Structure 1
Amino acid sequence: MGCIKLKNIFGEHWKQSYRDLKISPKPTQSGGLASSTTHVAFPWDVGSGGIVSVVDINNFDRNPPVMKLTGHTGSILDMDFNRFHENIIASSSDDFSVKIWDISNVQSNELNEAMFTLNGHRMKVTNIKWNPCVDFGLLTTSFDCSAKVWYVQFFLPFIRDASTGNEFFSVSINEHPSSCSWTPAGDKILVATKDSNVSLIDPRSGKSCDKFKAHDSNKLTCALWLGGSYGNDHILTTGFLNNKVRQLRVWDSRKTDTHLISHEIDSSPSPLIPHWDPHTGILTIASKGDLTVRIFQYMEGELSRAGEFKATGSLKSFCMVPTQVCDRTKCELGRFLFNTDCKQINATSLYIIRRSSSTTMSDLYAEPFENKKYAMADWMAGYERHSVFPSIFKKKCADMVKDKDAGCKFREISKAIHDCNVRFGSNFNNPEFVPVLEQLRDSISDLIKTIKI
C-alpha cells in the first residue's frame, strides 16, 4: 500500500470452505487457528489429550486429508508456524509442554512423535511465538507467570527432549500472561497480562526495559508491536474501560507514561484480538463470540476506521493467512479464516474497490521487504539485524508528505488572499494592509522552501 489512506475495505466470503472437520470447542487465549502459506492448523476435537490437525491450504474437497499430530496429553492452547521453515509448527498445551513438529515428508496422515518437546513450564503454556528474525528462536508464556525464550537446535537431531538445555532465557512476569509478541527486529519481547499490564523485556540482558498499565480495568489485555513501514515503533493494546467497554490504545514505545491514541469500540465481555500487517498498515480486530470483524489503518500516527464485515456466525476461532498468499491482481489486502460451528473453516478476503482500472498495484501495496534470518548464536552474542525498507518506498512516502504540506500551505495562502480582497477591496491604500502583505510574503517564502526541499 503506497502511503495512501484506505476507506471502505470490505469482506467477501468464499463459497468454498474447509469442510467435514472436527474442531475443538475448548477456549483459548489465542485466536485458535494458525496458517502458513501452505497449511492451516487447528486443534482436533477429542475426548482427552490434544491433537494438532493440519490441512492443505488449497484443498477445499469434502473430507479433506487431515494430518494429525498426536502427543500432547492436554488441550491445545496455541499454535504457530515458523515463518522461515513453513513445515515447522510449534504447539502448546494444558500439559505444561511445547512440542515442535516437522510435517514435511510425512508418509501417513498421523505423526506420533514431535521433533522436540520443551519441558520447562510448571503450568499450562498459553501463548507461543516464533522470533521474526532469529532462526528457531521461540517465545512461550505460561500460567506459571513466566516467559521463556528457547533455542530449538534442529541441526542436532539427536536431541529429542529439552527441559532446560534449550532454554535460553526465563523471566517472572508476576501475573498471568494473556499475550506475547516479539519486536520486529526480534531483539525484545512484549508480554501483556490479565491485569492490563504490559512489559517490554530484553531477553539477552535479562532486564525489563519498561512496564506500564495499558488500560484502566484489570481484565485480559493483548499487546502487539506495530512494526514495518507504518508502525513507527508504536505499541497497540486492546483492553477494557470500566470492565465492559472495549478499547484500542496506541503507545510510543519510547515514552509510555501516556497513550497516543485511545479508541472505544463497544460494550462486550469478550477480549479483542488484534492482527497487524506491516506490509499494508492494516489492523484487523476480531473477538470470539462476535459477528463483526473490524478493520483499521494505522499510518502517520493516525488510527482510522477502514471498514468491517460480518461473519456468517459467532466467531469461535480465527486467524489471518500470510500476506504472500493474497491475490494482488484482485486487490486482495488480506484473508481471514474463521470457524463458527466447529465443523468447517471459512475464508473471507479483504478487498478495496479501485477507483479506476488504471490504478496500479504500487498504489495499494508497499515495496516488498523482509526480515532476513540470522543464527541464534549471533543473536545471543548481541548481533542485531533490523528490517530494511526500500529507499524508493521511503522517498515516495516523504514526497507524498511534502506534497500534502505544500498543498495545505498553498490553500492557506489562497484563503488569506481572498480575505484580503474582501477586507481591503474598496481601499488597497489602507495602511493596515501592509502588515497583512508582509505576513503573506513570509508565507509564500515558506511555501517555496517547502517545495525546493
Structure 2
Amino acid sequence: MIEGFVQFASHMSWRPTYRSSKFRNVYGKVANREHCFEGIPITKNVHDNHFCAVNSKFLAIVTESAGGGSFIVIPVAQAGRIDPHHPKVCGHQGNVLDIKWNPFHENIIASCSEDSSVRIWEIPDSGLRRNMTEAILELYGHSRRVGLIEWHPTSSGILFSAGYDYKILIWNLEIGEPVKMIDCHSDVILCMSFNTEGSLLATSCKDKKLRVIEPRTGQVLQEANCKNHKVNRVVFLGNMKRLLTTGVSRWNTRQIALWDQGDGNIRYYEVTTEKPYLQYLMEFRSPAPQKGLGVMPKHGLDVGACEVFRFYKLVTLKGLIEPISMIVPRRSETYQEDIYPMTPGTEPSLSAEEWLSGINRGPVLMSLKEGYSRPSKLVFKAPVKEKKSVVVNGIDLLENVPPRTENELLRMFFRQQDELRRLKDELAQKDIKIRQLELELNNLRNSPNINNNNNNNNDEDSM
C-alpha cells in the first residue's frame, strides 16, 4: 500500500485537472483585522512543528519566553491586540515544542518540551487570570527532548509522545504512567497520524522511512523506504486505507502538499474513493509566509456561512494570528447536508483500559445540523502519584537519565556540591572525635593512678 502511494505522489502534478465537485468553487476568506489576534510574541524556534492548537473554546500559541518554555491561551472569541503581559502557561524548563488539545476535554491541553517532559494542563473556562506554572500531571520517561504529542482519536486518557531518543511512549493518563513503548525507529520521528478508529499509527521519520504500526504491540505492519524523497508529514485519509504525505523530492521540488511553510499558500484537494483519489481544486494565495497553522475542529465551524475549514495562520514577523475560512459558496440559507457529513464529536468511544485491552471502536459521530451543543463537562482526574522509576517493557526509563536542561544540570551540580560539603563536614566531625578519643586514651595511660597500680602489681610479683 505504501510503496504504491509513494510512487503515486512522486508523479503528482500541480496543474489542476477539472472534474465535477461540490467543492469546485471553494474559496479562502481572510478574517477582518478586528477578528485577528495581534501582538503575540510567537516563538522563533526552528523545530518543525505548527506551534499552534485550537478548539471551539481556546486558541493556544507557543511563545518566546526567557528562562524556560511557555505558551499563551486565548479564548477564540477574544480577538484583537493581546496585552504583552497576558498570562502564560510557563511551567516547562525548556522550550515548548508541541501542544495539543484533548479532543474530549476542551479545557485540557498537553505540551511537550526540550526538558524531556510531557505535561497536562487544565485551563479554566474563563481563561488564564495569572501565569500557570503547576501542571495537573507531569510525565517523565524520555531520555531526550520530546518533539511530538498526539491524543488517541477515540479513547479517553491515552496520549502518545515521540522523543529525540527515537522512542514513542503510550501514556495511560488515568494512572499517570507509560504503558507501552514503540522502539522501531532509527532516527527522529517527524510525524504521527492515526487512522479513524485509532487501531493503526503511521509515522514519518528522519531515517527516510514511512511506517504503519500496530501501536499496542509496536509491530511494524508495513514499511517503505523513501530514499529519493523527504517525507515531513503523513496522514491517514479518514476510513480509506491510504496515506497522504507531504515533503520534497531529491531535487528539492515540492511533492504533493496541502500547504508548505516556505510560502503563505494553502492548496486544497478533494479526496475520493475512486481514481485518481486526490483531486486538486484551487489554491489560496498569500504573500506572508506562515510559521504554522492551527486547524479548528469541525464542530467549531460556522455552518451557516458554509465554512468547511478554518485555519489559524501564525505570521511570526507581525506577531499576528490570522483566521482563514474556507467557504463553499451557496445561496441557500438552509443546512447544506452534502458538505457536512457526520463528524467525530467530543465523546470518547473507548476508555483507556478498553483500548489497551485490544478493543477497537470508531468515533462517536455527531451531526452539525442543529449546531454544536457542548456536552456535560467531563471531569479529568489526574492520578496523585510520585514515582521514582518508570518501567516499560522491563526497562526503567528513568534509570541513568541525563539532565534535561541547563538549569537542571546546574541544580544537580549544586545538589552534589551540597552533598559533598555535608560529607566533608561529617568526616571533619569524625576526625575531631577520633582525636578527642586519642587524647583521652593518652591521658588515661599517663594517669598517676594507673602508674601506681602498675608499680603495686610489680611489687607483689617480686614478693
What TM-score do the two structures reach when normalised by structure 1? 0.70
Would the alpha carbon gap of residues 313 and 345 (structure 1) be closer, same or farther in structure 2, given more than 3 Å must change?
same
Q: Percent identity?
A: 25
Structure 1 residue aligned with 2:250, among 238, 242, 253?
Answer: 242
How far apart are residue 220 of structure 1 and its match? Answer: 4.3
Structure 1 residue aligned with 2:290, among 303, 315, 323?
Answer: 315
Deviations along 1:270-297, one digit per CA (max 9) or x if unpaired, are xx5xxxxxxxxxxxx2222312111111
Residue pairs, 1:60-99, within 5 angstroms: 60-63=79-82, 66-99=86-119
Mapped partners of 1:388, 1:167: distance in 2: 25
Structure 1 residue aligned with 2:163, among 118, 139, 142?
Answer: 142
Residue type of the alignment partner of 1:242:
R
How far apart are residue 366 of structure 1 and its match? Answer: 1.3
Contact 1:55 1:67 in 2 (8 A): no
The equivalent residue for 2:48 is: 29
Structure 2 residue aligned with 1:120, among 137, 141, 160?
Answer: 141
The equivalent residue for 1:294 is: 267
How far apart are residue 131 of structure 1 and its match? Answer: 0.3
Would the alpha carbon gap of residues 124 and 217 (structure 1) be closer, same or farther in structure 2, given more than 3 Å must change?
farther
3-state secondary structure, aligned to 2:299: helix
How far apart are residue 69 of structure 1 and its match? Answer: 0.9
Mapped partners of 1:217, 1:142: distance in 2: 25
The equivalent residue for 2:69 is: 50
Residue type of the alignment partner of 2:308:
L
Would the alpha carbon gap of residues 388 and 338 (structure 1) be closer, same or farther in structure 2, given more than 3 Å must change?
closer
Gaps of 5+ in 2: 1-19, 367-463
Mapped partners of 1:99, 1:389: distance in 2: 29
Q: Are 1:129 and 2:150 an aligned pair?
A: yes
3-state secondary structure, aligned to 1:101: strand
Mapped partners of 2:147, 2:231: distance in 1: 13
Contact 1:181 1:225 in 2 (8 A): yes
3-state secondary structure, aligned to 1:191: strand
Gaps of 5+ in 1: 157-161, 249-271, 273-284, 391-453
Residue pairs, 1:87-236, within 5 angstroms: 87-104=107-124, 108-153=129-174, 165-213=177-225, 215-217=226-228, 219-227=230-238, 231-236=239-244
3-state secondary structure, aligned to 1:247: coil
How far apart are residue 68 of structure 1 and its match? Answer: 1.1
Higher mean C-alpha deviation, range 362-371 or range 167-176: 362-371
Would the alpha carbon gap of residues 221 and 107 (structure 1) be closer, same or farther in structure 2, given more than 3 Å must change?
closer
Runs of 4+ in 1 over 6 A off after TM superposition: none
Residue type of the alignment partner of 2:40:
L
Residue type of the alignment partner of 1:235:
L
How far apart are residue 196 of structure 1 and its match? Answer: 2.7
Superposition CA RMSD, Å: 2.4
The equivalent residue for 2:385 is: none
Q: Are 1:11 and 2:19 an aligned pair?
A: no
Mapped partners of 2:187, 2:270: distance in 1: 31
Which structure's CA Rg is the greater one? 2
Residue type of the alignment partner of 2:119:
K
Would the alpha carbon gap of residues 292 and 135 (structure 1) be closer, same or farther in structure 2, given more than 3 Å must change?
same
Mapped partners of 1:46, 1:212: distance in 2: 39
Would the alpha carbon gap of residues 102 and 122 (structure 1) be closer, same or farther in structure 2, given more than 3 Å must change?
same
The equivalent residue for 1:418 is: none
Residue type of the alignment partner of 1:317:
G
How far apart are residue 138 of structure 1 and its match? Answer: 0.6
3-state secondary structure, aligned to 2:170: strand
The equivalent residue for 1:345 is: 321
3-state secondary structure, aligned to 1:24: coil
Mapped partners of 2:344, 2:290: distance in 1: 32
Bigger proportion of residues as strand: 1
Residue type of the alignment partner of 2:24:
K
Mapped partners of 2:133, 2:108: distance in 1: 15
Mapped partners of 2:51, 2:71: distance in 1: 11
Mapped partners of 1:382, 1:318: distance in 2: 34
